[in-house]
Amino acid sequence: MERIHDMIVIGGGPAGYTAALYAARAGLDVVIIEKMSAGGQMAVTDTIDNYSGFDAGVAGWDLGM
């Protein structure tokens, strides 16, 4: 079945997520295409430090989800 989207974001890392989030908030029908796993590089990282809202760090996979 054919479906027309307003916007397609290539890559599901932080940059892609942010672009898709803002597009959705603006009312666009947006889809993300990711070739690896949700979260991008952070998904293959044990612990993410210096990320707003997580003063003790957060597991990369958890943040990606």
DSSP string, 19-35: HHHHHHHTT--EEEE-S
- Is residue 29 within 8 Å of residue 7, measured between CB atoms? yes
Q: By CB under 6 A, is residue 12 in contact with ligand FAD?
A: yes
Tokens of 14: 């932080």
* Residue among 26 and 36 whose Cβ is closer to ligand FAD: 36
- Binding residue for ligand FAD (CB under 6 A) from 7, 19, 45, 61? 45
Is 25 near ligand FAD (CB under 6 A)? no
**Closer CB to ligand FAD, 4 or 52, in the complex:** 52
